[in-house]
Homo-oligomer: A and B are copies of this chain.
């Protein structure tokens, strides 16, 4: 599973560091010896190693156990292409990958440890077997990158920063693990707790603060199974945090530490990125829940269809609550009809929708718009923000009917 990744994504990586200072920083960050060994095995950090020849995207994907048709969006970041968005539960090998650092983390289950520290009555040092001995649960939830659909932002007043995702930085899966609150209860959270800082096993700076009131929601979990299989390493296995509905950055991959602190965490991934930055640079609010969104996945954009009956289909989701209604337009938004929700799995999951259409010759612009249990909906245009997060504008699919 150890790959030698090309180095063309340096902008998103912490600065280079010597092997010795890396070990020191990992130890200072509370990484356990097995995790340090794992990080050192990863070539992105193995400064002493002689790099292989730059691998192809297909080679990287094969090494990660992923479908070779995923779209490379950077050496550690791969998108599910539109033509593969057909399953209600996204197959593990087609699920998108987004990493802020290296992606080929290899922490064997029997070496994985989780340190629980900070404002707790009892510090914990849990093994995978400890987790497995707890009460498991399974939920179905979508998981999307905060930058999902970023490519749809306009370039005014400036191009937005970040991976120019299409609509494939999202997947839906059954996740099995334990509620984070069960672990926090075992540690005994002290009064004054404000956030839980999760430490990723990929690099020392991969730390994210999660408000304690969210961390104690039973739907927030540590998961180790995805669609009934071991959580794949590129998606955070052996164990990742899962914060359903929130932008993916909250769901720390390869989680190896949890520190309960008495203040909001002011780390890079809470304050410099994953925040809404306005046109003059003010940081106005954090990125948290993914807003209501929907995409038509069939037909695909620029499809040529025979005239006659067509089933328009796609997926809709919201981090604020379950999807209540989806509407479809075949005349570029002039009129709308309610679509049928044909597959669903609770409020944390996306839904599949379908609407029949009698396609007549000519061109047509298809659109979908969803509404959630809170009555929230989709804008025609999402508020521009400098890093291009939370893009949920109504998606337009042009087709030709022959």
Contacts and interface: CB of A to CB of B under 8 A. Distances in A.
Interface residues of A, number: 38
Contacts of A392: 284
Given A214-B213, A280-B379, A280-B380, A374 B321 contact: no
A270 interface: yes
Oligomeric state, in copies:
2
Q: Name the residue among A347, A372, A375 with the largest chain B CB count within 10 angstroms.
A: A375
Given A213-B214, A214-B213, A377 B284 contact: yes
A90 interface: no
Contact of A375 (B280, B283, B347): B283
Contact of A285 (B212, B218, B320): B320
Nearest to A371: B283
Given A214-B213, A374-B271, A379 B263 contact: no
Contacts of A373: 263-264, 266
A374 B216 CA distance: 20
B282 A379 contact: yes
A379 B385 CA distance: 12
Given A191-B218, A263-B322, A283-B376, 7 more contacts: A213-B214, A213-B216, A264-B322, A280-B380, A282-B377, A284-B378, A284-B392
13 contacts: A191-B218, A194-B321, A213-B214, A213-B217, A264-B373, A266-B373, A270-B374, A275-B374, A283-B377, A284-B377, A284-B392, A285-B320, A383-B383
